[in-house]
Amino acid sequence: MAATFDETALPPSQADTVELPGRAVTFCDRRHARGFWMPTHTHEEAHAAFVLEGRIQTFTRQSTTTSDPATLLFVPRGETHATQYHDPVRALYITFHAPWWERFGPAGGALHEPREYEDGPPLALAKRLHKEFQSRDNLTPFMLEGLTLELLVAMSRSRPVTEEARAPRWLQNARDHLHSHPNEPLSIEALATEVGVHPGHLMRSFRRHFHCTMGEYVRRLRVRQARQMLTTGDSTLAEIAVELGFCDQSSFCKTFKRMTGLTPTEMRNAENVSHTQTMFP
């Protein structure tokens, strides 16, 4: 089982908080240091994050979501996930407390899974919420609750952003190729020829749709496979490095540490390793 989220587990950070009367909804403008990694956990209450600065990467069983500035991310209560904070991060967090959610939350399971919004009414309302949060007076609680209700309706009605919906078929084929051959040397030119586009167009489109270069994407796939090998087998670090296409053990360990926050040995020896396995789909 994943650990339940606890604010005290976060590193020291700057936070500005407003709580609506009756603990209905809490708004928190929080900053995080570069590179903080929050292992697999769940939240007892649904929440949304409007990213203001930096980049938040969320890992669930189904997908990996990268939320850049001016992106709204929704996570339902009980959703098992892990979080990586890239660069110094600042976000407005909106926590929907259980009694309020049960009363006003959308019916029919409209928000039963994580969603990301990059435009449309949800993002416009998130911007209005943040503006109201910054300019407070005695009417702010009423404004915040009213805008939050509008936000729930807009999120429920709007189609969430998905990689598959945005990416053309040829780009999905290129990504599928990377998943099928993560340990092979990456040739941009060969892959571009295979999917029928110019190498430059492939690189630009991949970064625009998947928020990273193809090299970074392949490293993530290799680290995911390394996690599985570390937790389910007895291969040495040198053997894992060779099998996954790293130039040597040192390069593998540095990449693994940078992307997970732990060394391969720490990952293998961690008492809660069975929990952290779910950080990647």
Measured CA to CA, the distance from residue 85 to residue 52 in angstroms comes to 13
- Amino acid 149: pLDDT: 94
Would you say 37 and 81 are in contact if contact means Cβ atoms under 8 Å apart? no
Distance CA 202, CA 209 (A): 11
Q: Are the C-beta atoms of 190 and 181 separated by less than 8 Å?
A: no
Cα-based angle 91, 93, 98 (whole degrees, multiple of 5) = 170
**In tens digits, what is the pLDDT along the chain, a chain of 281 residues?**
455 544 434 444 456 899 998 889 999 999 888 778 888 889 999 999 999 888 888 888 777 777 878 889 999 999 999 988 877 889 999 999 999 998 888 765 678 888 888 778 998 999 999 999 998 899 999 999 999 999 999 999 886 555 555 678 899 899 889 988 888 888 999 999 999 999 999 998 888 777 778 888 888 888 888 887 887 778 899 999 999 988 899 999 998 888 776 788 887 776 343 344 333 33
Q: What pLDDT score does 161 carry? A: 56
HSE, CB side, 13 Å, CA atoms: give it for residue 138. Answer: 0
pTM recorded for the entire structure: 0.58
With DSSP H G I counted as helix, E B as strand and the rest as coil, what are the percentages for the chain, rounded to 5? Answer: 45, 25, 30
pLDDT at position 127, please?
92
- Residue 108 has what pLDDT? 55
Give the CATH number of domain 3-161: 2.60.120.10
Measure the CA–CA gap between 107 and 110, rounded to whole angstroms.
6
CATH code for residues 166-279: 1.10.10.60
* Residue spans per domain, the chain: 3-161, 166-279
